[in-house]
Amino acid sequence: MSNDKPKPSGIDPPEPWNFNDTIVWKAIICKFICETKRRSFELSELLSYDKIPTMAGAYNQDEIRKSIHDDKTMFRELINYCMNWLEVNDLIKIQKNNLTITYNATSRLESLCKEIVKYQLPVIDPVIEAEKAIVSRNIALRDFLSELEKKGDLDLSEASQAINDETLYLINQLGIIYISVNDKISISPVGRMVMILLLLRTQIT
């Protein structure tokens, strides 16, 4: 078993896999954890998840099963990449004991589960990237998003009184909000998850 440290976000997936493959398998891993309410699990449990044939029908099911016991397969490299990404972003912890590896969900991932289970393919990357952008710029956005979720939508002019135009443009670009043709602003699924993570940060600190 490799003892390499997790790869940081942004490093390309191993060949022959691409970004779309990682989106699918990060989604499957998160959906598995949230639907089965597994705080701790092993790879064999994940790869026996009954939703895999539906969510990953384009992938060779024999190769998936083979990867449970063979850590040298190309598919296993994809899974390891996704697990490492999830660990780097504090959504799971990887615990290595001799020949076994156990994966543990973090409170960050568990806090997102209510949203994750709503979707057939819950795409996690834009949520994490949006959270990083907000935190790195030290933007106070949590209260605005909470108010937006409570009200359902806001007029663009009303929103401009709560946050400046630069922030409004940024969160629109990040997919945190929707702006309709009649200048109504509403929170997106990405925005709901970002708000949850921002709330969790304030509880921890």
Q: What's 111-156 look like in SS3?
A: HHHHHHCCCCCCCCHHHHHHHHHHHHCCCCCHHHHHHHHHHCCEEH
Q: Please check whether residue 26 is in contact with residue 35, taking contact to mean a CB–CB distance below 8 angstroms.
A: no
Classified as helix, coil or strand, 11 is coil
**Residue type at position 7:** K
Residue 190, pLDDT score: 96
Residue 13, pLDDT score: 87
Residue 5, pLDDT score: 41
Residues 6+ apart with CB under 8 A from 23: 121, 123, 125
% of the chain at pLDDT higher than 70:
94
Q: What is the pLDDT of residues 122-164, one digit of tens each?
A: 999 999 999 999 999 988 888 889 889 899 888 988 888 888 9
Question: What structural domains does the chain harbor?
Answer: 19-116 (1.10.10), 125-204 (1.10.10)
Burial 168-200 (b: 16+ CB within 10 A, else e): bebbeebbbbebeeeeebebbbbbbbbbbbbeb
Residue 2, pLDDT score: 37
Residue 6 predicted with pLDDT over 70:
no
- Cross-strand bridge partners of residue 173: none
Residue 4, pLDDT score: 42
Round the average pLDDT of the chain to a whole number and report it.
89
pLDDT class for 70, splitting at 50, 70, 90? Answer: confident
pLDDT class for 71, splitting at 50, 70, 90? Answer: confident
What string of DSSP letters covers 33-69?
HHHHT-SEE-HHHHTT-TTHHHHTTTS-HHHHHHTTT
User: Crossing angle, helix 189-204 and helix 107-116, to 10 degrees?
Assistant: 150
Residue 171, pLDDT score: 94
Q: Please check whether residue 54 is in contact with residue 24, taking contact to mean a CB–CB distance below 8 angstroms.
A: no
Q: What is the pLDDT of residues 8-61, one digit of tens each?
A: 445 788 888 999 999 999 999 999 999 999 899 999 999 989 898 888 888 988
Name the strand (E) or helix (H) holding 105.
strand 100-105
Residue 204, pLDDT score: 60
Name the strand (E) or helix (H) holding 195.
helix 189-204
